Amino acid sequence: MSVYQALIVADQYDPVDVIDDLLRELEAEGISVFVSNTVKDISNVLPQLQADKPFLYYKNCQTRIRNPRLLLEWHWSNIGFHNVRLRGEYVTFIPNRSVVFRDELINSCVLVGTEAFVFDISQFDVVDLFYRKPNVRPPHIFVYSKDRPDYLKHSLDSLRYSLGEDTSVPITLFLNEPTLEMLGKVRSWNFEWMDIVCIEKNSFYSAINLAVQWANPETFVVFEDDFILPHTARDFFPNWPYLFADRLRNFDVVGWAPNTDNAPRIHRFPKLSDAYCFSDWVNGGPRFNNSCPLLLGNALATTQKYWRSCEIKAPWYLPLDSHLLRTANYSTPALRGYHIGWNQQMDGYSSAARPSDAPMQNTLRSIVTGRTETFRLDSILSQ
> Do residue 34 and residue 91 come from a single domain?
yes
DSSP character at residue 270:
P
Same domain flag for 275 and 156: yes
The residues, any chain, with a CB within 8 Å of residue 193's CB and separated by 6 or more, are 160, 167, 171
- pLDDT classification of 109: cutoffs 50, 70, 90: confident
Measured between alpha carbons, how far is 348 from 27 in angstroms, rounded to an integer? 58
Residues 213 and 355 in one domain: yes
Max Cα-Cα span within the chain? 72
Q: Of the residues 110, 131, 152, which one is the last residue of a structural domain?
A: 131
- Per residue in 150-194, pLDDT tens? 999 999 999 999 999 899 999 999 999 999 999 999 999 988 999
What are the pLDDT digits (tens) for 265-306? 777 777 777 778 999 999 999 999 999 999 999 999 999 999
Compute the mean pLDDT over every residue in the chain, rounded to the nearest whole number. 92
Same domain, 197 and 106: no
Q: What is the total count of domains within the chain?
A: 2
Taking 80 as the threshold, does the pLDDT of residue 2 lie above it? no
pLDDT above 90: percentage of residues in the chain: 79
Q: Per-residue pLDDT for 353 more than 60?
A: no
The residue among 76, 111, 131 that closes a domain is 131
Same domain, 243 and 276: yes
Shared domain check, 322 and 265: yes
Residues 222 and 327 in one domain: yes
> 48 is in which domain, residue-wise?
5-131
Residue 275 is predicted with a pLDDT of 79
State the pLDDT at residue 264.
75
220 plus 344 within the same structural domain: yes
Question: What is d(CA 271, CA 12) in angstroms, rounded to the nearest whole number?
Answer: 25
269, 182: one domain: yes
User: Which tops the pLDDT comparison, 33 or 3?
Assistant: 33
Report whether 244 contacts 139 (CB < 8 A): yes
Stretch (H or E) spanning 195: strand 195-199
CATH number of the domain encompassing residue 335: 3.90.550.10
At 3, the pLDDT band (50, 70, 90 cuts) reads: confident
Q: Is the sign of the CA dihedral 31, 32, 34, 35 positive or negative?
A: positive
Q: What is the tens place of the pLDDT at every residue in 326-350?
A: 999 999 999 999 999 877 667 666 6
At which of 86, 105, 131 does a domain end? 131
Calpha distance 383→378 (Å, rounded): 9
Beta bridge partners of 141: 171, 221
Q: Are residues 111 and 199 in the same domain?
A: no
Instruction: State yes or no: pLDDT of 260 exceeds 90.
Output: no
Tens of pLDDT, residues 98-107: 999 988 999 9
pTM of the complete model: 0.94
Residue 351 is predicted with a pLDDT of 60
**Rounded mean pLDDT, 28-34:** 96
- Do 366 and 247 lie in one domain? The reply is yes
Burial environment of residue 219 by CB neighbours within 10 A (0 to 12, 13 to 18, 19 or more) = buried
Question: Environment class of residue 39 by beta-carbon count within 10 Å: exposed (0-12), middle (13-18) or buried (19+)?
Answer: buried
SS3 state at 319: coil
Do 186 and 332 fall into the same domain?
yes
Q: How many CB atoms lie within 10 A of CB 97?
A: 17
Mean of pLDDT values over 356-363: 87
Helix, coil or strand: residue 187: helix
Sequence-distant (≥ 6) Cβ neighbours of residue 173 within 8 angstroms: 143, 144, 145, 156, 186, 191, 194, 195, 196, 197
